Amino acid sequence: MNPSANSKKYLIIGTALIAIVIAFFLIGLVWTPYGINSTDSASKFMAPCAEHIFGTDNLGRDVFSRCLAAARYTLLVSFAGVAVALALGTITGLLAGYFGGLLDKVIMVLSNSVMCFPGILLALVAVAVFGPSLYNVIWALGLVFAPTFARVYRSSTIELLGRDYILSAKVMKVNPIRIMFVHILPNLMSQILPAVIIGLANMTLFESGMSYLGLGVQPPAASYGKMLADAQSYMVTAPWLIIFPTLMLVCYILGLYFISEWVRTSMRGGSK
């Protein structure tokens, strides 16, 4: 099997899966067939049919409409969370890798101790202390994920330090900040891109788990995790209530994994 053809397949399937989620998000922004919280006692627990293609839940809410509307929170939390983590991780990782010594030791010990808390626990505690809200979820998850990025940045920065162009920049007394952000950072893209994509996927896993526990995205907003939590009591009689939200989450996460697989293999191929 030709490896590049195989990794192309990953790209195509991954993009298709992500495209489904993005389509849901875009449609959900402008139009939903029913109101996401409009209840209808006449049509409770309707199995998927022509009027309600994903069925209805225990309050008669249209599952399809809710799936459309929930996509925005999945995307928002994953992208905003990764942005926070990336910003923190970039700065600390570059500083630690570039300056080394005591600063490096301190940053690494700090990031190691953050990593010692099981990730979901730290996020839950932050939300518990500061109250459950979308923004608290985002920065809590960003904080939890920052050490992962910091490590990638640190080790790749150290690898680059011995290169001639960095040495000559140092000789020319270029400002360290400029060396870090103009000379080193652009060269780390190949290491950081897979980490970002995987980060998006993991962020979604965490967010859905927190929303499931009722500590993530708060009602009246619809989120896949909360939909699953609400559906739990009825899942045997109304399995569509858990199947569709799960499918949406899997679409997004699996799509991201496939794309990261493609990025990884194509970059490895490029470096050879």
Partner 1 sequence: MGSTVRSALIKICEFLLTALLVSFFTFVVFSIIPGDTARVMLGPNASEEQVQALREELGLDAPLATRYISWLGDAAKGDFGKSISFGQPVGELIASRLPVTLGMSLIALIFVLVISFPMAAFCSRNPGDLTDKTLSTAGHILFAIPPFALSMMLILLFSKCFHIFAAGRYTAPSANFGAYLVSLLLPSFCIALPKIAMTFKFLRASMIEYSRGDFVRTAKSHGLSDLRIMLRHIIPNSAVSSVTVISLVLSDILGGSLIVEQVFNLPGLGRLLLSAISRRDFPLLSGIVFYLAMITVLLYFLSDVISAMIDPRIRDGRAST
Beta carbon nearer to partner 1, 42 or 129: 129
Return the CA Rg of the chain.
22
Q: How far apart are CA 209 and CA 141, in angstroms?
A: 12
Runs of H (alpha helix) within the chain: 3-30, 63-99, 101-115, 119-130, 134-161, 164-171, 176-178, 189-212, 224-231, 240-271
Beta bridge partners of 228: none
CB 120, min distance to partner 1, A: 4
The one among 155, 177, 250, 269 contacting partner 1 by CB under 8 A:
250
If binding is defined by CB under 8 A, does position 12 make contact with partner 1? Answer: no
User: Could you give the count of Cα atoms lying within 13 Å of 76 in the half-sphere of its Cβ?
Assistant: 18
Which residue in 85, 98, 45 sits closest to 241, CA to CA?
45
Beta carbon nearer to partner 1, 130 or 165: 130
Segment near partner 1 (CB under 8 A); pick from 47-55, 85-93, 171-179, 200-208: 200-208
The one among 107, 197, 228, 259 contacting partner 1 by CB under 8 A:
228
Q: Which residues lie closer than 8 Å to 155 by C-beta, 6 or more apart?
A: 97
Segment near partner 1 (CB under 8 A); pick from 62-70, 87-95, 116-124, 165-173: 116-124
If binding is defined by CB under 8 A, does position 21 make contact with partner 1? Answer: no
> What track of x and - describes contact with partner 1 for positions 130 through 169 (by CB under 8 A)?
x---------------------------------------
String of DSSP letters for 106-167: HHHHHHHHHHTS-HHHHHHHHHHHH-S-HHHHHHHHHHHHHHHHHHHHHHHHHHHHTSHHHH
If binding is defined by CB under 8 A, does position 113 make contact with partner 1? Answer: yes
Segment near partner 1 (CB under 8 A); pick from 43-51, 150-158, 162-170, 242-250: 242-250
Chain contacts with partner 1 (rule: CB under 8 A):
1, 109-110, 112-114, 116-121, 124-130, 201, 205, 208-209, 212-213, 215, 225, 228, 231-232, 235-236, 239, 242, 245-246, 249-250, 253-254, 257-258, 261
